[in-house]
Amino acid sequence: LLIANVYQYNSKFDDYLELIKSCDPDLALFVETDTLWQQKLDKIKTDYPHTLSIPLANTYGMLLYSKLALKNGSINYLVEDDIPSIEVDVELVSGQMVKLFCLHPQPPVPQENPRSTERDKEILLVGKKAKNCKTPVIVIGDLNDVAWSYTTELFSKTSQLLDPRKGRGFYNSFNAKYFFLRFPLDHIFCSADFTLSSIKRMPSCGSDHFPMCVELQYDPKAEAKNDVPEATTEDKKLANEKINADT
């Protein structure tokens, strides 16, 4: 899996094409992508014939490319009318179906949105959907939230998804332009029936985010070995309050 926030106004398109060759993922998600980025990245469609694309000029576009078959794909606007997310079933080579969610909620910053309400709501809504899935689940995206935040931890507990970075380092992905001020904003979460084979932070390719390349192995027996996070009654109550909060 490859997740990359390209920084919409970046023009190092060829660097990302080289990145794809280097990482050789089965699935690649690019966020902050407009129609120009789509034109440039569509060159990989020979190797990645399965796609879901929402190119947007507002820095919230998303492009998903896959070597694996994608089924029942939908583009959703869970909280805000101009902030999309993706929900799709991915068919592994074995035939096993995996539910994939891709998201990039709006950050709580003064120039865009001073509140975290919308971001928290979207993250926790996806967590609720993930918890109700009958198949293995992967959630990827730029969550605009750090791994140790209360909302991200609440998401992990209520969804029962694992953060493969835990115990292995922060893998700070933002800001690539400031060596002394970096945070893990780009995330990959998975259900307990996956094991981690490798995790790498890749070169920034001109963006303010480092891409993340993660290799997961589906293993139904892994669930018995993994420490699955559990939500308390209070956690569930708080998550529902955030999901139902006015925006």
CATH of the domain at 53: 3.60.10.10
Q: What is the pLDDT of residue 114?
A: 46
Q: What is the pLDDT of residue 182?
A: 45
Local confidence band at 53 (pLDDT 50, 70, 90 cut-offs): very high
Residue-wise pLDDT for 95-113, tens only, equals 999 999 999 988 765 555 5
Residue-wise pLDDT for 2-22, tens only, equals 999 999 999 999 999 999 999
Residue-wise pLDDT for 113-161, tens only, equals 545 678 888 989 999 999 999 999 999 988 866 555 677 888 888 998 9
Q: How many independent structural domains does the chain possess?
A: 1
Q: What is the pTM of this model?
A: 0.89
**More confident position, 123 or 168:** 123
Secondary structure of the chain as H, E, C letters: CEEEECCCCCCCHHHHHHHHHHHCCCEEEEECCCHHHHHHHHHHHHCCCEEEEECCCCCCCEEEEECCEEEEEEEECCCCCCCCEEEEEEECCCCCEEEEEEECCCCCCCCCCCCCHHHHHHHHHHHHHHHCCCCCEEEEEECCCCCCCHHHHHHHHHHCCECCCCCCCCCCCECCCCCCCCECCEEEEECCCEEEEEEEECCCCCCCECCEEEEEEECHHHHHCCCCCCCCHHHHHHHHHHHCCCC
Residue-wise pLDDT for 17-40, tens only, equals 999 999 999 999 999 999 999 999
Average pLDDT, the chain: 86
Domain span holding position 198: 2-243
